[in-house]
Each structure stands twice: as C-alpha cells, then as structure tokens.
Amino acid sequence: MFIGEFHHTLDDKGRLAIPVKFRVDLAAGAVVTRGLDRSLFLYPKTEWEVLAAKLAALPLGQADTRAFARLMLAGAMEVEVDKAGRVTIPEYLRQYAGVSKDVVVTGLFDRLEIWDEAAWKEYASKTERDSNDIAERLGSLV
C-alpha cells in the first residue's frame, strides 16, 4: 500500500527518484500515465493491466469515453526503476503535468501521484479549506 508525501527533484534528464519503501512494489515494472487534475499516475504493472483492460473495453462508439480512454492509454508509458531507484518521466508527460524541477510524490493506496510542487501546494491548501464541506457531502461513505 502506498501512503505518504515525498519531495524530490527531477534532474534535467527527466529522472525522478522513487521513495525507497515503494521500490520493491515497483521492481516488477511500473506504468506512468496522465492523471486527473494535471497530475501523473504511477501504477505497478499488474494494477495497470487491470485498468488498461477496462479502458480498452469501453465502447468505441461514444466520442467522449473514446477520448478519455485514448488519453489514458496513449499517455501511458512503461518505466523501469534503475539501479539508483529512479524512473524516467517522458517529456510529453512532464509537459502535461507542468513539472520541471521540484516535484511531490504522493502515495494513494494503489498508485503514486506525481505533482509539480507549486501545483500540489495550491491544490492542497484549496482542498484543506474545502475539506469540511467535502466531508459533509461524503456523509456516511467514510
């Protein structure tokens, strides 16, 4: 299970260090793709395969779900953790997430999320302000 928040830096080759405790779960392969809210999702390969199969099974006929599946499947890229515990984030995904140097890696149960630090701070503070409202709407769910 992935939890926690880590502040790392991206070097000019687009490499990002994975927190040590996560490396063992990603050693068998991982997949990065476009996420929601201008973040990137990083799944262990096995988790990804489940998700990809669902996306591929979406009906081709509807323009909007087709577009969504396209974005996530086309956005995905298989990455490997190198000897130094890093993965290389492809150029086009760095652009999408607006990451350049300072990056936040967060654990979200079954996936990691990768954020530009500034964007993360803004999102976090905004969400904190709204958290009471959100909690109320969630109601009995939690």
Partner DNA sequence: GGTGCTAGTGGGGATTAGTGGGAAATAAGC
Partner DNA sequence: GCTTATTTCCCACTAATCCCCACTAGCACC
Q: Is 52 in the site for a copy of itself (CB under 8 A)?
A: yes
Residues linked to residue 5 through DSSP beta bridges, in sequence order: 106
The window from 37-45, 48-56, 68-76, 87-95 that contacts DNA (CB under 7 A) reads 87-95
State which of residues 59, 61, 83, 109 lies at the interface with DNA (CB under 7 A). Answer: 83
Q: Is 84 in the site for a copy of itself (CB under 8 A)?
A: no
Partner touching 110 among a copy of itself, DNA, none, CB below 5 to 8 Å by kind: a copy of itself
Q: Of the two residues 10 and 107, which places its CB atom closer to a copy of itself in the complex?
A: 107
Enumerate residues 6+ apart whose C-beta is below 8 A from 24: none
Q: Are 113 and 40 in contact (CB under 8 A)?
A: yes
Q: Is 86 in the site for DNA (CB under 7 A)?
A: yes
Partner touching 20 among a copy of itself, DNA, none, CB below 5 to 8 Å by kind: DNA
SS3 call for 18: coil
d(CA 23, CA 81): 7
Q: Is 24 in the site for DNA (CB under 7 A)?
A: no
State which of residues 16, 26, 51, 97 lies at the interface with a copy of itself (CB under 8 A). Answer: 51
Q: Are strands 40-44 and 111-116 parallel, antiparallel or unpaired?
A: antiparallel
The 8 Å CB, 24+ separation contacts for 70-77 are 71/34, 72/33, 72/34, 73/33, 75/33, 75/34, 76/31, 76/32, 76/33, 76/34, 76/48, 76/52, 77/31, 77/32, 77/33
Partner touching 88 among a copy of itself, DNA, none, CB below 5 to 8 Å by kind: DNA
Residues that bind DNA (CB under 7 A): 6-9, 11-14, 16-20, 80, 82-86, 88, 90-91
